[in-house]
Amino acid sequence: MQDYKEIIKNYIKDKKRLKHSISTGLYMQKNAKLFEIDEEKAYIAGLLHDIGKELSKEEIINLALDFEKRNIYEIKHFSFKKRHSFLLHGVASAEIMIRDLGITDTDILIASICHTTGGINLSLLAKYTFLSDFCEPLRDFKEAKIIHKYLVKEKNFNKAYFYTYNYVIRHLLKREVEICVESIDGYNEALRLLM
């Protein structure tokens, strides 16, 4: 697979976001072997997960609608996500990957789609993208460092996965914003995996 590091500069203009994308890709690639995840897919999923993030609300929703028409993967809670279009930027990213980059690997596409909310029955790559987005090395908040410790030092994937939901949901509660049911479902499933 080709390296999309130059191509993403056409889509991601914000320097911090560009650095975050590259850092997520490299972080995922570096630690993939610990959990028997394909290194190349991990790199691409991490690098491209936010490629649609800088588009306008309307563009994000339109790309998500285009993706829906392909019948590759059902986007759950679509009307909720339309109201909070930020949550659809992973779907917009997947549509750009297909349309502009010719990526057809559904594992990578679905990992991008699910990185905003998490959810249930996710593939290992999708879970890995969700938590790495939160804890890649450029994230400088203390919770990110804790998740990194669970993942890389303790090699406890399920613990890192659960605490990502735990911190994300806590943050949303603090902000007093609506929470997508998919995140709550993901939290419950991740907790069961720990028991």
- Residue with tokens 């905003």, as numbered in its chain: 116
Of 133, 136, 182, 185, the residue at the interface with Fe ion (CB under 5 A) is 133
Q: Coil, strand or helix: which one is 77?
A: coil
Q: Which is nearer to Fe ion, 36 or 144 (CB)?
A: 144
Contact between 95 and Fe ion per CB under 5 A: no
Alpha-carbon distance of 38 to 179, in angstroms, equals: 31
CB of residue 116 to Fe ion, shortest distance in Å: 6
Stretch binding Fe ion (CB under 5 A), from 50-58, 119-127, 163-171, 180-188:
50-58
Alpha-carbon distance of 165 to 131, in angstroms, equals: 8
Helices (H) and strands (E) in the chain, counts: 10, 0
Q: Which is nearer to Fe ion, 36 or 178 (CB)?
A: 178
How would DSSP label each residue in 6-48?
TGGGGT---HHHHHHHHHHHHHHHHHGGGGT--HHHHHHHHHH
Q: Which is nearer to Fe ion, 71 or 75 (CB)?
A: 75
Q: Which is nearer to Fe ion, 19 or 192 (CB)?
A: 19
Of 4, 44, 48, 50, the residue at the interface with Fe ion (CB under 5 A) is 50
Site for Fe ion, rule CB under 5 A: 50, 133
